C-alpha cells in the first residue's frame, strides 16, 4: 500500500491508473477506521481493480462548537488496518494542502442539504459536498462507496453527482451494527459502557417503527412520536429528531402509502454523545 499526502501526486497516480485501464474505486473517510469502513473497502474491492482510501478530517464540515479538535486521529492504527485490508493507495493529506491559504471556492447545497441534519448543523453539507468533490477530482474514481449510516450525506452526494454531471457511480453500503444493534461509528468511542448499552434504543426504535408500519399503521407522525417516547424513557437518552422521510424525495413523510418506501431518521443523545441512525421501512 502506497501512502500519498500531496493532491498533485495522487492525481498523477490516478491519471496513470486510468491510462492503464484500471477501474478505480474510492472510499472516503475521516479515519478512526472501524468495521463499517472495512465493509466499504471490501465492497470497493469487489467492484474495482484499484482501491483508494482517503483519510482526511475535513475542517469545513465541522461547526464551531463541534468536535473537530477532539476528533479521533489514530493514524498509525488506521494505516495498519488499511494495509491489512489490502488497500492499494492511502491518500492522507494535511489540511493545508487541501485548503491552502487562499482557498476561496466552496459548494453550496440546495434544500436537501439544509433540512434535518443540515438544519441542526448549518453549513455541514456544504463542507461535505466541497471535500467530496475535491477528493473526486484528486482520486479520479469510477465508483465511490458511501455508507447508508449517513443517509442524508449519501442523498446529498447522489444529488451532487447528478447536478454536476460527474461520471462516477455511487454505491451505497449497508449499516454495520454492534451486537446490541448500535450502528458502528467513529464517535462511539466517546460512549461509556452504560451510554453504549442505552444507545441501543435507537435501533430498537427503528425495529418498533418497522413493526408498526408492517401492522398497517399509516400515521407516520404517530409512529415517530412513539419512537421519540421510547428514547425519552431510556435513562441518559434524549431525542433530537425522529422523522420519516420519503425514500425517493428525502422529504418529510407523514402518511404511509402502500407500495412506497420510507426511511426513519433518528438523531439522539446518549449522555453527551450525539448519535444518528436510520432504517429503510417499506409500506
208 labelled catalytic? no
- Considering only the stretches 22-30, 113-121, 198-206, 241-249, report the one whose residues sit in contact with ligand PAF under the rule CB under 6 A: 22-30
d(CA 81, CA 77): 6
- Please return the burial class of 271, using the count of CB atoms within 10 Å of its CB with bins 0-12, 13-18 and 19+: middle
Residue 129 interacts with ligand PAF (CB under 6 A): yes or no:
no
Q: How far is the CB of 60 from ligand PAF (least distance, A)?
A: 9
- Considering only the stretches 24-32, 93-101, 111-119, 174-182, report the one whose residues sit in contact with ligand PAF under the rule CB under 6 A: 24-32
Cβ 154 vs Cβ 172: under 8 Å: yes
The 3-class secondary structure across 115-179, one letter per residue, is CCHHHHCCCHHHHHHHHHHHHHHHHCCCEEEEECCCHHHHHHHHHHHHHCCCCCEEEEECCCECC
The dihedral region occupied by 40, where left means phi > 0, alpha psi between -120 and 50, and beta the remainder, is: alpha
The residues in 145-204 that bind ligand PAF, with binding defined as CB under 6 A, are 150, 153
Residue (164 or 207) nearer to ligand PAF, CB: 164
Question: Using the rule CB under 6 A, which residue among 81, 98, 129, 132 binds ligand PAF?
Answer: 132
Rg of the chain's alpha carbons, rounded to an integer? 19
- Considering only the stretches 85-93, 125-133, 246-254, 272-280, report the one whose residues sit in contact with ligand PAF under the rule CB under 6 A: 125-133
Question: Using the rule CB under 6 A, which residue among 44, 53, 131, 144 binds ligand PAF?
Answer: 131
Residue 40 interacts with ligand PAF (CB under 6 A): yes or no:
no
Crossing angle of helices 124-139 and 151-163, in 10° steps, is 60
d(CA 81, CA 151): 25
- Considering only the stretches 27-35, 111-119, 231-239, 262-270, report the one whose residues sit in contact with ligand PAF under the rule CB under 6 A: 27-35
In sequence order, what are the beta bridge partners of 246? 262
Question: Using the rule CB under 6 A, which residue among 128, 145, 227, 281 binds ligand PAF?
Answer: 128
Residue (140 or 212) nearer to ligand PAF, CB: 140
Residue (161 or 231) nearer to ligand PAF, CB: 161
Catalytic residues: 37
Residues that bind ligand PAF (CB under 6 A): 28-30, 58, 61, 128, 131-132, 150, 153
Amino acid at each position: 500500500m502506497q501512502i500519498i499526502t500531496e493532491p498533485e501526486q495522487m492525481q498523477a497516480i490516478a491519471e496513470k491508473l486510468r491510462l492503464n485501464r484500471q477501474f478505480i474505486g474510492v472510499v472516503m473517510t475521516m479515519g478512526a477506521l472501524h468495521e463499517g469502513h472495512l465493509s466499504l473497502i471490501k465492497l470497493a474491492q469487489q467492484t474495482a481493480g484499484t482501491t483508494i482510501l482517503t483519510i482526511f478530517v475535513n475542517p469545513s464540515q465541522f461547526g464551531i462548537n463541534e468536535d473537530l479538535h477532539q476528533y479521533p486521529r489514530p493514524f498509525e492504527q488506521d494505516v495498519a488496518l488499511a494495509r491489512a485490508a489490502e488497500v492499494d493507495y492511502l491518500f492522507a493529506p494535511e489540511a493545508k494542502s487541501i485548503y491552502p491559504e487562499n482557498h476561496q471556492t466552496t459548494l453550496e447545497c440546495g434544500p436537501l442539504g439544509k433540512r434535518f441534519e443540515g438544519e441542526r448543523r448549518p453549513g455541514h453539507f456544504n463542507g461535505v459536498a466541497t471535500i467530496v468533490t475535491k477528493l473526486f477530482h484528486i482520486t479520479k474514481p469510477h465508483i465511490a462507496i458511501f455508507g447508508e449510516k449517513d443517509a442524508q450525506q449519501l442523498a446529498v452526494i447522489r444529488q451532487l453527482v447528478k447536478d454536476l454531471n460527474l461520471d462516477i457511480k455511487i454505491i451505497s453500503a449497508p449499516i454495520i451494527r454492534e451486537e446490541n444493534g448500535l450502528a458502528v461509528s467513529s464517535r462511539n468511542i466517546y460512549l461509556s459502557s452504560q451510554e453504549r448499552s442505552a444507545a441501543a434504543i435507537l435501533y430498537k426504535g427503528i425495529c418498533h417503527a418497522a413493526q408498526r408500519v408492517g401492522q398497517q399503521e399509516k400515521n407516520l407522525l404517530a409512529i415517530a412520536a412513539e419512537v421519540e417516547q421510547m428514547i425519552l424513557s431510556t435513562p441518559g437518552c434524549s431525542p433530537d429528531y425522529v422523522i420519516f422521510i420519503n425514500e425517493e424525495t428525502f422529504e418529510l413523510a407523514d402518511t404511509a402509502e402502500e407500495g412506497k418506501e420510507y426511511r426513519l431518521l433518528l438523531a439522539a443523545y446518549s449522555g453527551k454523545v450525539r448519535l444518528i441512525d436510520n432504517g429503510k421501512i417499506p409500506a
